[in-house]
Structure 1
Amino acid sequence: MAPRQRLSAEVRRRQILDAAAALVLEQGHLPLSLERLAGRVGVSKGLIYEYFPTQPDLFNALLAEEQAALRADGMPETAEDVAGSSAAHRCADVYLRHIASTGPLAHFILRDAYMAGHVDPAAVRLRDRLIRGFARRARLELRLPAAEAIAAVLLVLAIPEEMGRLVWQGDIPLETAQKLVAQLVTSSVTALTPAASADPA
């Protein structure tokens, strides 16, 4: 019988990350059972600790990959460089397609209480950069106070996130989700414009 081939550190790390992502999406919350993760990968818990000494280390590695994918699709640059509602529509479509194909992994990691105080500062900076970029535009173009601008951005971002989740779960097709997201983002921006919110004469 031929000896088992030893996997490289890079391949083994990839296996752990892929298995962890799948488990987080299956259970919908953090933390993970390391016994279950080790069983999924076919390694010992000790080997997982060699690659990721803590679960926050593991989840931050997953989050870094999620954000790298969004950066590769140009989401932060679109938020800063494209004018007006076009930026909201383009970013919403990027975010929708990402979640539709990979699931709401970043959502679970960023918003689970388990990660409170443990999210990598670089990930927080990228998230805040995106939100601040949209909020700054909302303050200027829609004349919203700062707190209202941030609240509006978070609500609008929830539209592609939830629609992407429905596509990922197989509940609706991507094309339907894209149409609904476009309509809802347009409606949201319109409702927030000063002319739309003004009292009738």
Structure 2
Amino acid sequence: MKLEAKEEGRREQLLEATRRLILATGSLNISLNDIADELSVSRSLVYVYFDSVAQIIDELFAEEAEAIDRAIVRLINDDSSFRERLTRLFAAYLDHLATGGQLGYLVLRERNQDNPLSAANSRKFRRILRNLSRHAVDALALRPREAFVLLELIAAIPESLARMVRSGKLEIEIAQETSAMLIGSAIDAYEVH
């Protein structure tokens, strides 16, 4: 029992070290040596738990995807207007990105290069996007591709504002107000009247 706890603790340390390195560099371009050096352990120890950096990134992304999925499920089951629900969802996304949760964003930004995601996580991410897009299709009477593009464009708002918050150029409260105003306006432009 003690050995299992120690093993799980080491695994978590490796995951957290990888997260720190990725967030510090703003890139997925790290090596197993970098991770080992971060924890002052041998590269062999890293191999005991993970076969590659891609496997570690995939596991970290799975955690973020689960959180996003839960937030979307809450959004869909809420009784408020679509505008209010989507604004709250992207407010949570902005908070997440501004407070160091940009790992998922980095993975998705680089996914068309050397995709670190497993087939299962790629399917999960596509399912999340389809679910949210379907909700936008129903609420805004859009075609699926239009809904997807709209959501992708709206997601750029909190992503850009979060970068400004992290760099100290903008306070989180102002970023949230700006995000809510811009997202609300975008939805209003598409909403069926």
Within 5 A, what are the aligned runs for 1:55-70?
55-70=53-68
TM-score, scaled relative to structure 2: 0.84
Give the CA deviation at 1:114: 4.6
Instruction: Assess if the C-alpha contact under 8 Å between 1:21 and 1:105 holds in 2.
Output: yes
Helix, strand or coil at the partner of 1:39: helix
Letter in 2 for 1:30: L
Q: Which 4+ residue blocks in structure 1 deviate beyond 4 angstroms?
A: none
Which residue among 92, 95, 117 is the counterpart of 1:94?
92
Structure 1 residue 139 and structure 2 residue 160: aligned? no
Instruction: Assess if the C-alpha contact under 8 Å between 1:103 and 1:164 holds in 2.
Output: no
Instruction: Assess if the C-alpha contact under 8 Å between 2:72 and 2:132 holds in 1.
Output: no
Which residue among 126, 129, 134 is the counterpart of 1:128?
126
Within 5 A, what are the aligned runs for 1:78-117?
78-82=74-78, 83-112=81-110, 113-116=112-115
Q: Greater CA radius of gyration, 1 or 2?
A: 1
How big is each residue's C-alpha offset from its partner over 1:56-95, in whole Å with a ceiling of 9 and x where there is no partner? Answer: 1110111122234445xx4121342234112211111111
Give the CA deviation at 1:115: 4.1
Kindly tell me the number of residue pairs found equivalent between the two proteins: 186
Give the CA deviation at 1:175: 0.9
Give the CA deviation at 1:140: 2.8
Aligned partners of 1:38 and 1:27: how far apart in 2? 16
Instruction: Assess if the C-alpha contact under 8 Å between 2:22 and 2:103 holds in 1.
Output: yes
Aligned partners of 2:153 and 2:114: how far apart in 1? 22
Which residue among 22, 26, 37 is the counterpart of 1:24?
22
Worse-superposed segment, 23-32 or 53-62: 23-32
TM-score, scaled relative to structure 1: 0.81
Aligned partners of 1:171 and 1:121: how far apart in 2? 38
Give the structure 1 partner of residue 12 of structure 2.
14
Structure 1 residue 158 and structure 2 residue 156: aligned? yes
Report % sequence identity.
31
Unaligned runs of 5+ in 2: none
Give the structure 1 partner of residue 191 of structure 2.
193
Give the CA deviation at 1:119: 1.2
Helix, strand or coil at the partner of 1:102: coil
Give the structure 2 partner of residue 183 of structure 1.
181
Unaligned runs of 5+ in 1: 1-6, 196-201
Q: CA RMSD in A?
A: 2.2
Aligned partners of 1:102 and 1:25: how far apart in 2? 7
Letter in 1 for 2:18: A
Task: Quickly say closer, same or farther: Cα 1:143–1:137, change in 2 above 3 A.
Answer: same
